[in-house]
Structure 1
Amino acid sequence: MSQPYAIAPDDVARAAQTIRGHVLRTPLVPAPRLSQLTGARVLVKHENMQATGAFKERGAVNRLSALAPDERRRGVVAMSAGNHAQAVAYHASRLGIPATIVMPATTPLVKVENTRAHGATVLLQGETLAEAAELAGTLVAERGLVLVHPYDDPAVMAGQGTVALEMLEDAPDLDCLVVPIGGGGLMAGIAIAAMARPDLDLVGVEAALYPSFLNAIDGTARPVGGPTLAEGIAVKTVGRLTLPIIRDRVREIVLVDEPQIERAVHDYATLQRSLAEGAGAAGLAAMMARPDLFAGRTVGLVLCGGNIDARLLASVMVRELEREDCIVSFRMTASDRPGVLGRVAGRLGDLGANILEVSHGRLHLDVPAKSVSIDVTIETRGPVHTAEILDTLNREGLNPRRIGPHGGSLTGS
């Protein structure tokens, strides 16, 4: 009987031997705080600890190691939104192989600069991975470079599957693996590696803005596209080699929206003390979105990448504090008299609020001519404390009205 898929379990086993000593055997760490949050026993596979911050090194090393001497001399080309780019650049440099990386112009700056720092030639092309792929194909045809595809390549898929081999060796009692899906290389490799455990449930996760695999599997036409925090899995075209594996062997694909991804990034940072980029946090987002799939089970989460821009991480953390009512903005109206701003600031201090930002103005048309509006952003101990502060200010005649962080009114507040 012919092998129905591009790779078999033996390919993943050979890949494990090939990459040994080239990539880190990352730890599978119990996560009691995440377990408490999700209602499952959670263990996290920390692929964010790889030298380039993501699992992509596994497939890159396995593919580069298979190059013939002439192919090594000519060099390789890869298209990537970031993590595959860094992995190919880093290990190509280690192995003395010239590398050219084509990245979408929208790729986060941290990933572009990290790729260049590994010695690769970086070309920015188009807005999407598909447009970057067109240029990569041209370089293959014109310069004879060898394409190292980010997911639709048997050697790459087999390399990524080694994640599952390590997880199942460290925790044979796992009931379920939760894996982010972009082009499908990681999920397909894991699914093949896990064939020896037919009782093991595999749950994939896609960003709700990029339901490409779900569309391909169930024949729907959900819209695909838009800005997402999980740009590492923002793939419009599914893998030709990865699709049949995922269609046959993945129990369910969960879609997660942007607030859920943001919250998961925040929770990894605060509860697990780990950096997770949007795609890396997608598995945790799925557990919070669909707790019914995981309650009471032993779940392996693949934290597949931690390359998040520091400014973006700061924004995510502040936004989550706003969602939790630990940071709140409001507008008050008071008589325009000397010292009123100081008195308001002092009162907020008495109430235990930390003032983050304050401004006042006289030009708002909804404020009487002899009054002044005061916009304040404060940090509190949580929603109960916030409510107490607003109630007190209201009783004292300041009539605080909730506003957005940039001054816009909040409907229903």
Structure 2
Amino acid sequence: MVNPRGPPRARPMDMTSPGPLLPPYGVVVGVLLHLVVYLFAMLYSYAEQLFLKKDDNKINKRDAPAICDLHRCKDGPVRNGHIGQRPPSINPERLKDFVEEDYLNGDVKTWEMKIVSRNEELLGDALSLIPQSSTRTSQSSHNKLIRFEDISAAAFKIQSGVQKTPCMYSRLSKQYGVDIYLKKEFLQYTGSVKERGVLYLLTSLPQDQQRKGVIVASDGNFSMAVAYHASELRIPVFVIMSTSTSPARVKMCREYGAMVISYGTTAKDSQMHARRLAQENGYLYLEEEDSAVYLSGLGTVGLEMYEQVPKLDAVIFPAGGHCGLLAGSAAALKHLNPHISVIGVESESFPVLQQSLKAGHPTEDQACSNHHFYGDVSGLCFGNNSLQLTGKLVDKVVAVREEDILISMLRLLEYERATVDAEGAIGLAALGCWEAA
């Protein structure tokens, strides 16, 4: 039977019927992206915290000596990445670093590599033998005066470890009416000429002592030079500083690669503590002194100046501190040309060298009221070697006022774009005094 109404029509779709259960594709992708970003941020934050915690108070210098942390290595010292069985040999509480440094247990990582061997001994035929104090433990050649051969040997040995700084004609020549050449030792890595003596001192140590390590108590340029070059030679190095040392100095010394320990309120306290640690643990206590090795390294400055500047008439050196630069360089210059005038300059506030030359022996230390300004130029005691070399080879020693040193520092900044300390400007201050006279 045929339906007269025709085939049944399709029922229209009910627009109100429920849609699919899954959200649109774009929404799903957006949610997943947000989830991935959130997880990545969480993981990055967690990794950063672990990294900071791991590197907290650690030395961030390449190839620095590894120090054993007592909180992590209670079974013994670290040796080539493995924990040994020997207990700490000193009391760690006495070595607490009050600048939030790690504890020190008296042992360091042993580096399995060949360290520069000691050259053939050249320090002989001393002009005189001078008994030295038994408290100086760094070298056995305290009582030997240097020869030109010693300085030449030092120049050859340290040539690859220090900068041969330029000795350049200065624009200040027109201001003073003479030809002035400036030896720019502030271009050394630590900004100090003492790198020369320190490097020669360290490379002259026996290999067994280089493996044991060295310790120094100073907050000046000497400790900075020891920290840097000892780390470069893979020699474990410890620096004892008083609690009054500026945080910038402490941070700088750590960045050079040293283990810094704050102890005592004065430099004398730090020195006594360093000597005690050296005796208990086999470290070599280094101090700025007038041994033949140290003076020979500093004397390479005079050797370079003679090569760099033709027809030298006179050379001016700072004479403060231990007087090593003046004595060592005078030995080199006077050997090459006895007619070159060598002049030393010190501050009127503590004319230790002038008084010592007048007395014929090293005088006692003089207190400096402005040590932070003068730094290494302040009245430190120097030895008989420096005094004898100075008395024999230096033509004149003069003293300048503090205001003249300040003016010279400003002139060097204006004309040479060089920021130097009092030791670097004191020579120009003497030249200014002669100009005024």
Does TM-score exceed 0.5, indicating one fold?
yes
Whether the 8 Å CA contact 1:82–1:112 is kept in 2: the answer is: no
The 5 Å alignment of 1:130-145 reads 130-145=268-283
Q: Which residue of structure 2 lines up, in the alignment, with residue 185 of structure 1?
A: 324
Contact kept in structure 2, 1:76 and 1:100, CA below 8 Å? yes
Residue number in structure 2 paired with 1:147: 285
Aligned partners of 1:88, 1:204: CA distance in 2, in Å? 25
TM-score normalised to structure 2 length:
0.62
Residue number among 165, 168, 171 corresponding to 2:303 in the alignment: 165
**Is the 1:215–1:221 contact (alpha carbons within 8 Å) kept by the matching residues of 2?**
no
Counterpart position of 1:198: 338
The farther-off stretch of 35-44 and 57-66 is: 35-44
Q: Are 2:353 and 1:213 equivalent residues in the alignment?
A: yes
Looking at secondary structure, tell me which structure has more strand per residue.
Answer: 1
Pick which of 108-117 and 155-164 moved more: 108-117
Gaps in structure 1 of 5+ consecutive residues: 294-413
Q: What secondary structure does 1:22 align onto? A: coil
CA drift of 1:269 comes to 0.5
Answer with 1 or 2: which has the greater Rg: 2
Instruction: Pick closer, same or farther for the CA change 1:132–1:259 going to 2, 3 Å.
Output: farther
Matching residue within 110, 127, 148 for 1:3: 127
Secondary structure of 1:178's counterpart equals: strand
1:56 aligns to what? 194
Q: What is the TM-score with the length of structure 1 in the denominator?
A: 0.66
Give the structure 2 partner of residue 379 of structure 1. none
Q: Secondary structure at the match of 1:97?
A: coil
Higher RCO by CA contacts (8 Å cutoff, separation 6 or greater): 1
- Contact 2:239/2:261 (<8 A) preserved: yes
Quick check: 1:243 aligned with 2:387? yes
Query: Which residue of structure 2 lines up, in the alignment, with residue 264 of structure 1?
Result: 408
Per-residue Cα deviation, 1:243-287 (whole angstroms, up to 9, x for no partner): 111122112222122211111111111111111111111111111
Rate the CA distance shift 1:142–1:292 in 2: closer, same or farther, 3 A: farther
SS, match of residue 287 in structure 2: coil
* C-alpha separation in 2, matches of 1:288 and 1:201: 17
Contact 2:126–2:146 under 8 Å retained in 1 = no
Q: 1:267 to 1:227 in 2, by over 3 A?
A: same
Paired residue for 1:27?
Answer: 166
Percent of paired sites with the same residue? 32
Residue 313 of structure 2 is aligned to residue 175 of structure 1: yes
Measured at CA, do residues 14 and 92 of structure 1 come closer, stay the same or move farther in structure 2, by a change above 3 Å?
same
Q: What amino acid sits opposite 2:127 in the alignment? A: Q
Deviations 1:203-230 (A, max 9, x none): 1111222221111111399964211422
CA separation in 1, counterparts of 2:366 and 2:294? 28
Aligned to 1:278: 422
Distance in 2 (alpha carbons) for counterparts of 1:60 and 1:287: 29
Q: CA deviation at 1:2?
A: 4.8
1:256 is matched by which residue type in structure 2? V
Structure 2 distance, partners of 1:266, 1:222, is 29
Partners of 1:278 and 1:62 lie apart in 2 by: 25
Secondary structure, aligned partner of 1:215 = helix
Contact between 1:78 and 1:150, CA under 8 Å: does it hold in 2? Answer: no
Counterparts in 2 of 1:225 and 1:166: CA distance versus 1, 3 Å: same
Quote the Cα distance in structure 2 between the aligned partners of 1:18 and 1:165: 14
* Alignment length (residue pairs): 292
**Aligned pairs for 1:95-134 within 5 A:** 95-105=233-243, 107-124=245-262, 129-134=267-272
Query: Counterpart of 1:225 in structure 2: which amino acid?
Result: C
3-state SS of the aligned residue for 1:274?
coil
Q: Aligned-pair distance for 1:176? A: 1.0
Residue in 2 aligned with 1:83? 221
Query: Structure 1 residues 222 and 82 mapped into 2: Cα distance closer, same or farther (>3 Å)?
Result: closer
2:232 to 94, 100, 107: 94
Deviation digits for residues 96-134 of structure 1 (CA, Å, limit 9, x no counterpart): 101112345555544332111112122345666555433
Match of residue 225 from structure 1: 368
The C-alpha deviation readout for 1:269-313, integer Å capped at 9, x for no partner, is 1111111111111111111123389xxxxxxxxxxxxxxxxxxxx
Q: 1:73 to 1:10 in 2, by over 3 A?
A: same
Amino acid at match of 1:7: I
- Check whether the contact 1:82–1:103 (CA below 8 A) recurs between aligned residues: no
Structure 2 CA distance for aligned equivalents of residues 125 and 216 of structure 1: 32
Q: Which runs of 5+ in 2 are unaligned?
A: 1-124, 129-143
Root mean square deviation of aligned Cα: 2.3
d(CA) in 2 for partners of 1:153 and 1:167?
22
| Contact 2:317/2:427 (<8 A) preserved | yes
Preserved CA contact (<8 Å) 1:185 1:242:
yes
